[in-house]
Chain A
Amino acid sequence: MTEFRAIKALWYREVKAYSNDRPRIISSLVRSLLWLVIFGSGFSAARFSGLDMNYQEFLFPGIIGMSLLFTSMFAGISVIWDREFGFLKEIVVAPISRSSMLLGRVLGGATIAMSEATLILLLSFVIGVQVNWINLPFILITMFLISSTLVSIGLTVASFIESFEGFNTIMSFVIMPMFFLSGAIFPFGNMPSWMKPLVYCNPLSYGVDAMRTLIIGVTYLNIYLDFAVLGACTLFTLSLGSRAFKARM
């Protein structure tokens, strides 16, 4: 019960701090909108082999994946933020386990990422993408698995980094490659062969594929494989994160 209260408190803290921060919400929505409208319209004239559909429609689930990626990873920054501004000490001396500390943060970060992704899902009405709303529960489950994996990765990395600068450096070597190698902005079919292993190693590829299957009914991998990989990644990164917290906090 004590641990549950602590997890809830840490979750509440992340969500409350986020909802107090309007500029952050607006900027991440604007970022997704820019990709969808400007990048999407610009590339809708291009022809990808093996893609016989509207490019904006193809891009839409990918941008949801991108939003989950950015928001979740940067939720990891909260640890560095806390270390810099001292709040970390308040948590570290509390009589709770390191796993609860991690879980509270993961659930908080996942909640934030999921609510942003859901807002983008609603943008489908504005830009005219047909969403299979009947799959909504599965879409939410996919969002949850993707974001908890990514928040755990972000937190694991952040627990080893002492400064904001270090975090940004590592993130630019992780976030951008993960985004480009996820099949979010171009189909798997026409990739050069050296890129393929990287794509298959990227957990986000399975997330984007699951999203695309559930939202617009287009599959490149296999939905059961997607869920199996995402589930395994969530468990693995959670245990990785809790090890990192035990070692580093």
Chain B
Amino acid sequence: MNAIETINLTKRFNSLTAVNNVNISVKEGEVFGLLGPNGAGKTTTLSMLCTILKPTSGTALVNGFDVVKNPDDVRRSIGIVFQDPSLDNRLTGMDNLRIHAALYGMPDDTAIDRIERLVSLVGLEDRMQHLVKTYSGGMRRRLEIARGLVHTPKVLFLDEPTLGLDPQTRAKVWEYISNIAKSEKITVILTTHYMEEAEQLCERIAIIDYGKIVALDTPHELTRKIGNEVITLKLVNTSQADAFKKLDYVSGMKIGENGDVSLSVHDGAEAIPKIMNFALENNIKVTGVEIQKVTLNEVFMHYVGREIRDEAEKDGRLQTLRYQLRARGRI
């Protein structure tokens, strides 16, 4: 049985289709990532899987339970770490976890053992009797992850688990997440717009844009598909770029907004001398060369046509407007 199975999952808000016929299946024990820019529909997808939002059409099975017909069964079998903080700052870490256990109907003695184990997994043993308002951002995140696991769910949902954390803290949280995924033998679904995060943690990644899945594979396969390395050339005359398309070791070519020519190749070190000779022979003037390993960032650009970090800064209204324009024109 798959941990998650969605069937044409769709969510519309008035004229806006936030999630558009999404079909994904996540295997048991897998760490699965939903990668996409802000407003792509990641959180909306997650909210439907967590029974917070009702789908407009289609449905999803979580641990075999239908999110529309058996929401309570779904809720009991999942743990959620929300994008925004959701702890009670006026209480201690321990109280937050105990209240969670009780809300999920756990008897006290079972809860205590479980909490003790999880607290040591996220390294918060000596902070449990302190009020949450004295915790740092990273500690709060770790406490929330532990809380999501208290009632032994089969699937853990993490919505942007490291949003707003500094790089060191982020690396720490990643470490805790992958340890937990292993030791708890749990399925993890996470949304993120950080490429490194998806690459570090996920066994498979679905790239989602404007509510649609545009690519779904392992990070390795996703990068392999668009070539292992990218050579970027600066040309005096960009119109000559087409000549490179003929070369059999060039698997793809793209001209960037600034006129840079990107060539996808299997082995950059081997390809550069060949390309330079080819340019000399054909009178193509090259003023700069750069070689880059393909990262998920390039993969993302390939599928979505723009870099993810630009999107992160756009405000929500502009996003919506662009979305609607694009929905009318292209989709």
Residues of A within 8 A of B (CB): 1-2, 5-6, 8-10, 12-13, 16-17, 20-21, 85-96
Q: A6-B102, A13-B88, A89-B82 are in contact. Are A94 and B95 (CB under 8 A)?
A: no
B104 at the interface (CB under 8 A from A): yes
B11 nearest CB across to chain A (Å): 17
Does B280 reach chain A (CB closer than 8 Å)? no
Interfacial residues, chain B to chain A (CB-CB below 8 A): 50-52, 72, 75-76, 80, 82, 84-91, 95, 98-100, 102-107, 131, 147
Cα distance, A87 to B86, chains bound together (Å): 4
Number of A-B contacts (CB under 8 A): 73
Instruction: Write 20 A-B pairs (CB below 8 A) sorted by A numbering.
Output: A2-B105, A5-B102, A5-B107, A9-B103, A13-B91, A13-B95, A20-B91, A20-B131, A21-B90, A85-B86, A85-B89, A86-B82, A86-B85, A87-B86, A88-B86, A89-B86, A90-B86, A90-B100, A93-B50, A95-B104
Residue picked from A2, A17, A90, most chain B C-beta under 10 Å: A90
The 6 closest A-B pairs by CB, nearest first: A9-B102, A2-B105, A86-B86, A94-B103, A17-B90, A95-B75
**Measured CA separation A5–B111 after assembly (Å):** 12
Given A16-B95, A20-B91, A21-B90, do A94 and B82 touch, yes or no (CB 8 Å)? no
Task: Give 16 A-B pairs besides A5-B107, A90-B82 with Cβ atoms closer than 8 angstroms.
Answer: A5-B102, A6-B102, A9-B98, A17-B88, A17-B90, A17-B91, A20-B91, A21-B90, A85-B86, A87-B88, A89-B82, A90-B147, A93-B50, A93-B51, A94-B104, A95-B105
- Give every chain A residue within 8 A of B88 (Cβ-Cβ): 13, 17, 85, 87
In the complex, the answer to whether B84 meets A91 with C-beta atoms within 8 Å is no
User: CA of A66 to CA of B76 in the docked complex: distance in angstroms?
Assistant: 42
> Given the complex, which residues of A lie within 8 Å of B95, measured CB to CB?
12-13, 16
Are B85 and A85 in touch, CB under 8 angstroms? Answer: yes
Nearest chain B CB to A79 CB, angstrom units = 13
A9 vs B160: C-alpha distance in the bound complex, in angstroms?
28
Asked whether, in the complex, the Cβ of B89 is within 8 Å of the Cβ of A9, the reply is no
- CA A33 to CA B85, docked complex, whole Å: 38
> Bound state CA distance, A96 and B102, in angstroms?
10
Most chain B CB inside 10 Å of its own CB: which residue of A12, A92, A94: A94
A218 and B196 alpha carbons, distance in the complex (Å): 74
- The distance in angstroms between the C-alpha atoms of A95 and B90, with both chains bound, is 23
Which of A20, A87, A91, A96 counts the most B-chain CB atoms under 10 A from its CB?
Answer: A87
